[in-house]
Amino acid sequence: MATVQFSDPEDFLEELEQDKERVERKIIRLCFMYAPSKVSPNIRHLSVVATALGEGQVIRLRYYCGDVWNIESQDKAVQDEAEKVKKQIADGCARLGLEVRGGTITE
């Protein structure tokens, strides 16, 4: 299955707008994704990931928000950015008549 990859939320929403009639079941999967750092076991990379299926391809946004260090004062800006982007995607999908659910689609 082919994947169309985006790193900018606006580009992702623009693609969905152009192909919203082809999005299977009108469902977008949206979640936070944490990945371990290779530098330290205490650091995790935080991204917002949104995916949709459309006519044999996955449409995917992976927006890197920053690193989480488990230090509340330092992590707040990264977590706030992640929440802002997640809301931007959810609001854009609602405007397009697409339902947002948790999780992600993998090939």
Is 107 domain-assigned?
A: no
94-106 pLDDT, tens digit each: 999 999 999 999 8
pTM listed for this prediction: 0.94
**Mean of all residue pLDDT scores within the chain:** 96
What's the domain count of the chain?
A: 1
DSSP states of 7-32 as a string? SSHHHHHHHHHHHGGGBGGGEEEEEE
**Would 72 be classed as within a structural domain?**
yes
Report if residue 66 sits inside a domain: yes
**Domain containing 7 — which CATH number?**
3.30.720.90
Residue 106 lies in a domain: no
Contact partners, residue 66, CB within 8 Å, separation at least 6: 45, 46, 77, 78, 81
- For range 43-51, the mean pLDDT: 98
